[in-house]
Amino acid sequence: MNETEYKIQIDDVIRRVETARVRVSGHHIVKIVAVSKYSTIDEIQKLYNIGQRAFGENKVQDLKVKSAELDELPLEWHFVGNLQKNKINNLLDLNPTLFHALNSIELANELQKKLEAKNMTLDALLQINSAKEESKHGVMPEDALNIYKEIQDTCSNINLKGVMSIGAHSEDYKVVKKSFETTFDIYKQLKGATICSMGMSGDFELAIECGSNMVRLGSVMFNK
Ligand SMILES: *Cc1c(COP(=O)(O)O)cnc(C)c1O
């Protein structure tokens, strides 16, 4: 697509986000993270030219290459993927804006060790497996509050900012809605949490209506 086509596409996404968020409240602000994992440097640059600033990747190596190539631009880079322990140092060296997928105490402890050694901090979200799906990472909803607190108490270099979840993999609207409500319910109980990251291309309006204030959009943003 050329830049004009991107603009039409993005304006449409923004309109859809607007409609959904105003249904919640005029004060409910939603941030769009453009997930660029299937997209090229050139495509990211085109979105930047029409105003997009926050981008997300799910592989450390891709984040490294793309953020280095686009180093001159004032972009925010989010890491939304599952993080393997042997990639922790590589991710930290890229100093991402936000790590969305902190999904266990073990990973938090590993991160804490490496953060301490590098004398740095990391903003992160606790990933919740809200529909308890085998195929997904994340902590069980009933454990989430305790794990969140434990990470806060024991990992002083991790700044937990809230929660992240992927909507239930289902054709049934009610099942997906319930998975978002489960995550939002946990988010509401967390003191000081400010980010509830849920909603992807196929379900972001529903996620926003359930309280999401950060959507991670790949295919609708990049027309993939
Ligand atoms: C790929 C990905 C997205 C974006 O998916 P789309 O359906 O293309 O919007 C969002 N979140 C995570 C964790 C992803 O891996």
Atom of ligand 1 at shortest distance to CA of 201?
Answer: 9
200 lines ligand 1 (CB under 6 A): yes
Judged against a pLDDT cut of 90, whether residue 49 lies above it is answered with yes
The confidence score (pLDDT) of residue 69 equals 98
Residue nearest to atom 13 of ligand 1 (CA): 80
**101 CA: nearest ligand 1 atom:** 13
The number of distinct structural domains making up the chain is: 1
Is the per-residue pLDDT at 88 higher than 90? yes
The C-alpha atoms of residue 133 and residue 155 are separated, in whole angstroms, by 27
**Number of CB atoms found within 10 A of residue 142's CB:** 10
pLDDT digits (tens, 9 = 90+) for 13-40: 999 999 999 999 999 999 999 999 999 9
Q: Which two tokens stand for residue 35?
A: 């997930």
Rounded to an integer, the average pLDDT of 208-216 is 98
List the residue whose alpha carbon is closest to atom 12 of ligand 1. Answer: 80
- Quote the percentage of the chain above a pLDDT of 90: 98
Q: Which CATH number characterizes residue 155's domain? A: 3.20.20.10
Distance, CA 119 to ligand 1 centroid (Å)?
31
pLDDT value at residue 53: 98
Can you give the pTM of this predicted structure? 0.97
Evaluate: CB of 58 within 6 angstroms of ligand 1. yes
∠ CA 196-26-159 to the nearest 5 degrees? Answer: 25
pLDDT attached to residue 40: 97
pLDDT score for 224: 82
Residue 95, domain extent: 3-222
